[in-house]
Structure 1
């Protein structure tokens, strides 16, 4: 009987070991089935992935186009830079009358070149002021009338761009202008 009891004890653990293994196999199978089900339900198929990738690509291209347009707009922004106030007394060649011209001149510069213009202007301020005064003094009385200021503006622009290293000025204008007969 003792031998029978030992055999029963030995066979009993084997039987319970098979039950434990079965539970483990069943648990692993359930986990694998759950993961497979989650894969099919939660992970998009190839069509959805390609549609999502295309959507992101289109958004990225639009964003880069908008950034490029904004950068171009920022570079093309025009800034006004004060060149100076000028008060010149002159006598036209045909008359003995004396006139006084008081002008406040500004220049139009692209935003990206504003610092470069300011540096060059500071270096060559004396030469620029002398050239502008010379253009004012050498102008005829007719050129200094309010209707013909465009010619004087173009002459000042040409002279300033000639003195500057690059053509930094896009235009020149007058904030205030007075022609006074003395």
Structure 2
């Protein structure tokens, strides 16, 4: 009688104590793999997006990029190619910040950048390519490529007498 009312009670039997337990099925365990996979993918994706954004902002704030942009904006041949004042093309996927491809590695002596420019009215668009290297630590930078390419044609800014980068990152 006690065993029916309380299935987990100890009953005194002839051979000692015996235990009765009610047999129940274990509850089903939910599958957490999809949630874990989504969380891991979101974490890696957000880390990657932050890395792209941060390195792009670093390139935008470098002195060599600012010098390149000043040379492009002041060039009469770029003005005639685009028929207006060039400005950086802003990208929506970066939150309205221009996208700069390539790398700025002044310590190892390599600068290789490309970015898009457009006009104020955004009817013309061009891409600026800039490459500069130095042979060794104490050698000056040598500008290899400084080119503005659009659908209408291309303009080489090396023809303007630009040849090197000084210690502050300015093109001279």
Q: What TM-score, normalized by structure 1, do the two folds share?
A: 0.34
Q: Which one has a bigger Cα radius of gyration?
A: 1
- Larger strand share, 1 or 2: 2
Q: Whose relative contact order is higher, 1 or 2, with alpha carbons under 8 Å and at least 6 apart?
A: 1
- Larger helix share, 1 or 2: 1
Q: What TM-score, normalized by structure 2, do the two folds share?
A: 0.35
